[in-house]
Chains A and B, each alone.
Chain A
C-alpha cells in the first residue's frame, strides 16, 4: 500500500473525501483466470480508498464467475469497476483499468460527485443533458501520464451522472492494448461516442454535448 499511496497523498485524499455526503459502493471486477496485468494494484488502490473513508464500500467480483453481474454492468474487461450511488443505482460511471497517475483526479472527482457533491455545470447545460433520449456510450481512452485526460473522463462521467441514458467509461490504453488498437488510439485523450463518432483532445463538455445531440 505504501507504494501506491504515500502517506501525504493518502492524507490529502482523506481531506478531500471528508466532504462526501452519501454512502457509495465500488463494484470491482477482477479476473482470476487469464492474465490480468493490473488487477492487484487496482484492488490495492480501491481497498486503500475504502479504508480512508467509511462512506465507501468495496465489493469485489470476478468477471468470469460472477457472470450475471458482469453482464448487468456491461463488464467486458478486467480490471474494471463501476460506482453505485446510495440507492445502489448504476449511473453509468465506469473505469476500465487503474485510475492512477493523473487519472486519480477523475476518480476522486467521480467518488465525490457520486456521493452527492453538486456537479458544477450551469442550469442551461444541465437542461440540454437531461433532454437526451438516445442511449449514449462514451469511451474515453487515456494514458496515466496524460495531464489532459482526467478532464475528458470527468466530462464523460458527469454526463452519465446527469442522464440515465448516458454511460461514460474510462479505458486505460496501455492495459487494454487490443481494444485501443481496434479504435486506432495513438493519441489521448480520445473520446469515442457510440463506437463511431470520435473526438480527440480534452474537449469542452459543450462540444461533447453538441456531438451527442447530432447523433
Chain B
C-alpha cells in the first residue's frame, strides 16, 4: 500500500512576493485547511503555512465519526481536504513553521522557520496540539525505549508483546484497537472512567486479550535500558500494583500549540487560546480554530467548523472594521 502525499503542482512562489496578504493561516490540519477554503471562496488572498498537511489527522488510523464517511483512514481524509484546496489553488507553504508573530498597527508580520517574513491583514492560528505527557518518573528515560506517543508508527515493534495503554478517551480506544492487531496482550490503565464513544468500547469489550484498570493512576515507568513495566495506583482499593510490560502507549489528550501567540492573547490555565463565538482572539485581527482553542471537544469536524467560522468572521472584519479603520487613518 502506498500513501502518496506529494503534490504535482509547482511549488508556490506566492510566498516570496513582497505583499500584504488578506489572511495567513498557520497550520495544515482540518481547522486551518477549512479556514483557508472558506476564505478563498470569499475571494480573500489567502495562504497557508504548514508543517504538514493533515496535522493530527495523520496520527489517526481510522476516522468513523466524520459525517459522510462510515470509515475513512485519517490520512486519506487529509488527502481529500488537500485535493479540495488544490482545486481552489490555495497556495500552501509546506514544511515550514512560523517562528514569531508581531502586530504592527493593524497588520501582522510573521517570521518563518527559514527566516523569511510575510505580512498579513489577518492571521488564523490553527496549530493544533501535541501529545500530552504523563509527567511520571521514567517516562522520559524510556521514551522510544518502550514509551510511545504514536500508535500507528510504533505498534509493529510490539508484535506478540504485552503493552499498556494509558488513557480512556477516543484516542486511547483507537490505540487499543490498533494495537490489538499486533500485541498479544493489552492492559489499559486510566485514572477515571471511560470517555470514549460506546461504539469503540463495544469493540474493545469484544477483544479477549484486553485487561482494564479504571480509576487507576500510572506512577512510574521502570526498566533497564528498555522499559520492563509500570507501577500504578488503584484508587478504589487504595493500593499500588505493577504491570510487567514491553511498551506503554500514552494517549491522554493534547497540549495546545499556542506558544507562538501565548504572550499576545488571552489563554486559559491549560494554555488553550480563548476565542469568542466568531473565533476571534483577544487581539483584533488574530483568530484561532481547532484544538489550539479552549473549546473542550477536540474533534475533526469541530475543528473544520471552527475554521469555517473563523474565515467568515475574518471576511466580515476585512470588509467592515479593517477598511473603516484604514479610512480613518487617511
Binding site for B on A (CB under 8 A): 4-5, 9, 12-13, 15-16, 18-19, 100-102, 104-105, 108-109, 120, 122, 124-125, 143-151, 173-174, 180, 184-190, 200, 204
Interface residues of B in 209-268 (CB under 8 A from A): 225-226, 247
Would you call B154 and A188 a contact (CB within 8 A)? yes
Would you call A187 and B143 a contact (CB within 8 A)? yes
Cβ-based interface call for B75 (8 A)? yes
Interface range, B side = 35 or more
Cβ-based interface call for B66 (8 A)? no
Would you call B157 and A185 a contact (CB within 8 A)? yes
Would you call B6 and A4 a contact (CB within 8 A)? no
Stretch at the interface among B39-47, B145-153, B271-279: B145-153
Which applies to chain A's interface (DSSP): helix, strand, loop or mixed? loop
Interface residues of B in 1-50 (CB under 8 A from A): 1-8, 11
Contact of B8 among A16, A144, A147, A187 (CB under 8 A): A16
Would you call B95 and A186 a contact (CB within 8 A)? no
Q: How far is the CA of A174 from the CA of B158 in the complex (A)?
A: 11
B residues less than 8 Å from A4 (CB atoms):
2
Would you call B6 and A184 a contact (CB within 8 A)? no
Would you call B226 and A145 a contact (CB within 8 A)? no
Binding site for A on B (CB under 8 A): 1-8, 11, 52, 54, 58-59, 75, 95, 113-116, 143-148, 150, 152-158, 225-226, 247
Q: How far is the CA of A204 from the CA of B146 in the complex (A)?
A: 23
Known: A15-B8, A109-B6. 16 other contacts (CB 8 A): A18-B8, A104-B3, A104-B4, A105-B3, A125-B114, A144-B1, A145-B152, A147-B153, A148-B153, A149-B153, A151-B95, A173-B156, A187-B154, A188-B153, A188-B154, A204-B113
